[in-house]
């Protein structure tokens, strides 16, 4: 599951920020901001992508570096959001 999220995020970043097909140039833990891959408007585009692709709602107070700084952080964050939604649905 998390693997799939990571792949989708990598593909999105590759296509939209690196302008290649695979996004292979970045590692899982590389800081997207420090590497100059994403800037402030890029963060918004990324959030918009996560919301539409995974059907989650990113709250203002979740738009934090710890949730979005790397592909791994993003995958973990989206995974948690999807998990909590599943619990809500069950309850």
Partner 1 sequence: MRVESFLLESARRFPGKTALIAGATRLTYAELAAAAAGFAAELRRQGVQRGERVVVFLQNSPEAVIAVYGTLMAGGVFSVVNPGTKADKLAYILNNCTARALVTEPRLAGTAAQAKVHAPSVSALLTTPYGFAGGPAPRGAGIDLDVAMIVYTSGSTGFPKGVTMTHQNIVAAATSITTYLESSADDIVLSVLPLAFDYGLYQALMCAKVGATLVLEKSFAFPQVILEKLKAERVTGFPLVPTMAALLLQMKHLAPGMFPELRYLTNTAAALPKAHIQRLRELFPAAKLFSMYGLTECKRCTYLPPEELERRPDSVGIAIPGTEAYVVDELGERVKPGEVGELVIRGAHVMKGYWADAAATERALKPGLYPWEKVLHTGDLFRADEDGFLYFVSRKDDIIKTRGEKVSPKEVENVIYEIAGVREAAVIGVPDAILGQAIKAVVAADEGVTERDIIRHCRERLEDFMVPATVEFRGELPKSENGKIARKELVAA
Q: Is 29 in the site for partner 1 (CB under 8 A)?
A: no
In contact, 30 and 22? CB cutoff 8 Å:
no
**Can residue 65 be called a binding residue for partner 1 (CB under 8 A)?**
yes
Q: Is 52 in the site for partner 1 (CB under 8 A)?
A: no
- Give the DSSP letter string of 11-35: HHHIIIII-SSS-TTS-TT--TTTT
Using CB under 8 A as the binding rule, whether residue 22 contacts partner 1 is answered as no
How many Å apart are CA 29 and CA 14, to the nearest integer?
Answer: 15
Instruction: Judge contact between 82 and 9, C-beta under 8 A.
Output: no
In the set 3, 52, 59, 91, which binds partner 1 (CB under 8 A)?
Answer: 59
For position 43 contacting partner 1 by CB under 8 A, the verdict is yes
Q: Does 60 bind partner 1 (CB under 8 A)?
A: yes
Give contact residues for partner 1 (rule: CB under 8 A).
18-20, 33-34, 36, 38-44, 59-61, 63-65, 68
């Amino acid at each position: 599951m998390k693997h799939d999220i990571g792949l989708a995020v990598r593909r999105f970043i590759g296509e939209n920020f690196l302008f290649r097909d695979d996004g292979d140039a970045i590692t899982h833990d590389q800081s997207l901001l420090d590497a100059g891959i994403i800037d402030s408007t890029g963060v918004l585009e990324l959030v918009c992508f996560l919301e539409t692709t995974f059907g989650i709602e990113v709250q203002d107070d979740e738009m934090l570096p710890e949730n979005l700084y790397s592909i791994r952080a993003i995958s973990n964050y989206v995974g948690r959001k999807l998990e909590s939604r599943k619990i809500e649905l069950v309850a």
